[in-house]
Amino acid sequence: MDAIALNQANLERLPANVAVPAYARGALVDSIVHIGVGGFFRAHQAVYLDDLLALPGNEQWGYCGVGLLPHDAAMRDAMRKQDGLYTVVERSAAGDTARIIGCIGEYLYAPDEPQAVLEKLADPGTRIVALTITEGGYYVNQGTGEFDAQHPDIVHELAHPQAPRCSFGYLAAALALRHRRGLAPFTVMSCDNLQNNGDVTRKMLLAFVALRDVELARWLATHGSFPNSMVDRITPATTDEHRALVRDSFGIVDAWPVVCEPFRQWVIEDEFPQGRPAWEKVGAQMTHDVLPYEKMKLRLLNASHQALCYIGMQLGYTFAHEAMLDPGIRALVRRMMDDEVTPLLGAVEGINLASYKDTLIERFSNPAVRDQLARIGTEGSARIPKFVLPSVREALAQGGAIKLLAFTVACWFRYLEGHDEQGREMPLNDPYAVRLRALALQGGADASPLLSLRELFGDLSDTPAFTQAVGQALASLYGLGARAALERVLA
């Protein structure tokens, strides 16, 4: 039997083992605009809304997706050809399950239709604008925690306020339109892996808007809402292997499916003056204090991802589950969580930390997900400062251990050189790639050139306990090799 092309007309023809939207898609109101329609959003927030739409009375909530970047053109083509539909495959040791997600009613591609994007954002019916723009998309100077007004994107936006290109430019321009039209601001909801992501979004966006229009910034500060949230689901980048899986196992031709683990979690600060979906009906946790959950997840899951990916690539592994089969890497992850991070965490309501860490080890080791180490290692210049360095600072302040945290930073430095010990390329995907690679090559086994990046390390650049620990670990990686260096740090 030939595979069936995924679109609205073919939904009823799909195999019986593939769940399809249990609601009238034509009745949905696209009241949430989501900027950054990548794999994680489509495997996480969109799945929650799809579940909610299956319950009666929620048709006022639907998604309009927005792509801002040139490479989003491929997503635009796939989503439009498929009427906004796509396949989510959950992979576990028990097998694969597939479902079709239908909550995205429209997809706008900003480079070709900037005015349409602005008008959608400014539309009175748009109540929430959600973001998955990566950790580096908030223009934070990692050394100071302040807004990076010198970033090339921001320099462009300030020079061309009517021709936005980045997320902040579009948000500011649309909010200005709403202000002039007498409309309330939409709720801005970050769904990226940042501690206090809503607070960070508020601080950075207000700083940017104030450089454009002080009165607009005052209005937004008074009337705007920026709820914090914690998001979690391991979602590898879509590959041709995934497209073949959907075609061969489920009989569907899907240009951009998404594959993920079964686990998902969403904790949301309940601050939505313009209204919100009843996410709590489908498993999300609404709260007034997201911070303990965010801190737990970022310090344990995301920092551990950093720990396993850079040493894993140096040892020749491609996928997370392969790295976790390595006893040394597994010990590195577990001991870093237990000995250096857990002592910094307070109690988290409803969470048993020991069980949570056991679950993380199990999730990292899931062979069905095939999460790419190269994906986990992208944008280290944003992720190391957000996931690893906060624990370093707290541990130093409390007199705690940082040996394994510092080793993780050193493994990132070694990875920046570009090749493993067998000469195989380790791809570097980072907005500061050119500068980082140059400093890594300049320093080699000497960590000081990279440690001098105050915009990443701030006061840690002048903290001997940290710089010496990183320096010794990096010298060991270069002098002994990755395997022996790993064994030494665990000894």
Q: In what order do the strands lie in the sheet with 187-190?
A: 104-109, 63-67, 32-35, 128-131, 187-190
pLDDT tens-place string over residues 29-60 = 999 999 999 999 999 999 999 999 999 999 99
Q: Is 352 helix (H, G, I), strand (E, B) or coil?
A: coil
* Burial grade of 105 (CB within 10 A; 0-12, 13-18, 19 or more): middle
Average pLDDT, stretch 339-366? 96
pLDDT tens-place string over residues 182-236 = 999 999 999 999 999 999 999 999 999 999 999 999 999 999 999 999 999 999 9
CA atoms of 86 and 427, how far apart (whole Å): 28
Percent of the chain with pLDDT strictly greater than 90 = 97
**Residue 365 half-sphere exposure toward CB, CA atoms < 13 A:** 15
**pLDDT value, residue 349:** 87
Average pLDDT, stretch 245-274? 98
* Of 37, 114, 103, the residue nearest 74 (C-alpha): 37
**pLDDT value, residue 1:** 63
Under 8 Å CB-to-CB from 241, ≥6 apart: which residues? 370
Amino acid type, 436: L
pLDDT tens-place string over residues 62-73 = 999 999 999 999
Q: Is 423 helix (H, G, I), strand (E, B) or coil?
A: coil
pLDDT tens-place string over residues 324-333 = 999 999 999 9
CA angle 317, 231, 78 (to 5 degrees): 75
pTM, rounded to two decimals: 0.93
